[in-house]
Chain A
Amino acid sequence: MDAIFDFLFGPLKEIWAYPTFFVEVVVGGLLTGVMYSLVALGFVLIFKASGVFNFAQGAMVLSAALSFVGFTELGVPQWLAMLLTLAMMVALAFVIERVVLRPLVNQAPIILFMATIGVTFFIDGFFQMLWGEDVKRLDIGIPKDPIEIHGVLVNTFDIVAAVVAGSLVATLAFFFQSTRIGRALRAVADDHQAAQSVGIPLQTIWVIVWSVAGIVALVAGIMWGSKLGVQFSLALVALKALPVLILGGFTSIPGAIIGGLIIGVGEKVAEVFWAEKIGGGIEDWFAYILALFFLMFRPQGLFGERIIERV
């Protein structure tokens, strides 16, 4: 009984005793959560528009970062490297739509999902063949020094990353809500056939949405690549987005953001205050436990669409 009491309430006493440290952990979690959201956004965009869970999103993050660094290593200025990579991601979107998605129109979602697994292996292999498998340094000039704000330590890089992610979300929200293409995209998301019947070209919308997901992958790749170095493991950051998606819902952009923040804070608080009592290293799986806990109350995720199928 004492052990259970200690496990549940011991950390709370520690939080009470060190409030500034607790705030530091929460802030660290929020800033990391924003980085998770950045990757989760790419998944949401494609799922929203086509109902496809794009397994290749992590590979797209890797390929975008590899190309960006690859161009800069060739002596191309960073702004031009960014444009060239964007062009590459759009080209990739065209190829995927033409070669993979179009032949599979009207197939079951699981078929499309399997196809994106194939796309993952292709992108991973092709871009590493193109740019090499070496670990590459990516420096975009953002300082990484720690600073203290009212006794709370934060990292400059994390703050900049949060601002970039926030701006991207605001831009995407505007794009979806207020532009013609955005409205068409939402129409496709609601009902493919209805959207086609009023003249919205499905193929074009798919290319657009995969291109936008490619742009999001580029931003995520640059931010994560600056942190970890550009290497194959970047593709694995997609795994960090999965609990975010489960929690936030697969179809909601605000869900990706709020989900990221909850997962970020939840896993950091759990790791710092509870991990020691159960052997440590709980950060990764705790994120999934947290997401599953939310699912018990909202199976569609916090902001996901409630799907009711009547038979």
Chain B
Amino acid sequence: MSLYRFGSALLGAAILAAPLALPAPALAQANEQFIPSLSYRTGPFGPNGTPFADGYLDYLKMINARDGGINGVKITYEECETAYNTDRGVECYERLKAKGPTGATAIVPLSTGITYALIERTAQDKIPLLTSGYGRSDGSDGRVFPWMFTLPATYYSQMDAIVQFIKSKEGGSLKGKKISYIYHDSAFGKEPLPVIQRLSKELGFDLSEFPVPNPGVEQKAIWLRIGRQIRPNYVIMWGWGVMNPTAITEAAAVGFPRDKFIGVWWAGSEQDVTPPGDAAKGYMAANFHGTGKDYKFMRDIEANVLKPGQGTGEARHVGTVLYNRGAINAAMVVEAVRTAQERYGNKPMTGEQVRWGFENLNLNPQRLAAMGFEGFMPPLKTSCADHEGGGVVRIQQWDGKKWNWVSDWIEPNRKMLREMYEAGSAQYAKEKNIKPRDCANQS
């Protein structure tokens, strides 16, 4: 071996061995909690995905700026654009799941399609999947879906609450009344069908169903049938994106009263009522949190993030329905980490530890006040078996300028819904050969 070759080999070996020779502190785990953001700011659903993503990130930034992180653990984050496509959502998940010192804290896919694609993957990778107000409702059964969390409410809860609201408006009985259900022809729109079909039989109302093909830019035929032929007492809509303003415009075009028209909470944002203008006055939608900026946590975002020029998006999104929904989603993840830290110590939490946190969340009035969420959302408590935790829903109405509450918090029929969740999860467990956990033995 020549001297040159020997020297090169020595140098190569030294370079390869260098990391092993680093002092111990340099290899220590960074005191950071990595929270990924699967967002969509482009494509047909970009106008809705953008304020959600802004609210999500602004809340995390606020926790860092105001509190120095979660009990001293700094939050790091990274956004990945899914464009609301399931394949890209899975790609984003695979890219981000192992980042940070303890991997992804939780996944918030903001898409029922991506949720379905990630249920098994997240369980395998031991990462909690948070689907606030979307995804599969029977995922609330924590015995079969230990890694999935549907808090604070599911589509099943929402549909039941909407029908209860209509019932109260119709004098306490729906017998002989007509309700039309217009829905996005996808897993999202079909999800609450079992609930409304069951309620139709139990409460005695006539149900007519109208699937709308994606994206829903043309609905004249459907609305002619609803407004001129069926003439229902109420219309319930499960729409997303351009489908919603189109439906409101067409409802007005056939003279269907907007104050008899109630949308899912994904059809209850400013983006849905702005294009129809005055035609949207009186239109209602469900919600599971407050709107506007008059909450302590919003003032904290204003002071710690927006004023110093650290806001993620445009200021006009702040306080809108979808911005606030992004914030509440981020808050749920942060609270799950905080709850887990109470048990495992103030350090970065692993997916398994965060899962425990999600399963033992107790957002009572005192905790909500400490979070600055007083009046923004009702109390919530999860358990091993109940991953929904709350399930209460409120109805809001658009007055042409802003959303106003027109109902109190509506408690859905927990007994009926639990029965339906368990039926769905039992079916899933059978298909996937899953043995449900015994929650009596869980600590």
Interface residues of A (CB under 8 A from B): 18, 21, 24-25, 28-29, 32, 125, 128, 132-139, 144-146, 153, 155, 157-158, 227-233, 236-237, 240, 267-268, 271-272, 275, 279-281, 283-285
Contact = CB atoms under 8 A, between A and B. Distances in A.
A236 B217 contact: yes
Interface in B196-216: 209-213, 215
A37 B46 CA distance: 27
Given A157-B253, A280-B209, 20 more contacts: A18-B229, A29-B220, A32-B220, A132-B314, A133-B42, A133-B47, A227-B249, A228-B217, A229-B242, A229-B245, A233-B215, A236-B217, A268-B224, A271-B225, A272-B225, A280-B210, A281-B210, A281-B211, A281-B213, A283-B221
Nearest to A280: B211
Interface string B389-411: 00000000000000000000000
User: By DSSP majority rule, is chain A's interface helix, strand, loop, or mixed?
Assistant: helix
Interface of B: 41-44, 46-47, 50, 185, 209-213, 215, 217-218, 220-222, 224-225, 228-229, 241-242, 245-246, 249, 252-255, 271, 274-277, 279, 314
Contacts of B274: 135-137, 229
Contacts of B222: 271, 283
Contacts of A279: 211
Among A29, A158, A231, find the residue whose CB has the most chain B CB atoms closer than 10 A: A231
A79 B210 CA distance: 40
A242 to B, nearest CB: 13
Contacts of B224: 21, 24-25, 28, 268, 272
Contacts of A231: 44, 47, 242, 275
B215 A236 contact: yes
Contacts, number: 119
The listed residue with most A CB atoms (<10 A of its CB), out of B209, B211, B225, B274, is B225
A140 to B, nearest CB: 11
A28 B220 contact: yes
From A233, A236, A284, name the one whose CB has the most chain B CB atoms within 10 angstroms: A233
Nearest to B211: A281
A237 B254 contact: no
Contacts of A232: 42-44, 46-47
Nearest to A133: B46
List of 5 A-B pairs having minimum Cβ-Cβ separation, nearest first: A229-B275, A271-B221, A281-B211, A233-B242, A155-B253
Contact of B245 (A125, A135, A237): A135
Contact of A32 (B42, B218, B241, B242): B218
Contact of B221 (A132, A135, A272): A272
A137 B41 contact: no
Contacts of B220: 28-29, 32, 268
B401 to A, nearest CB: 13
Nearest to A239: B217
B211 to A, nearest CB: 4
A93 B414 CA distance: 60
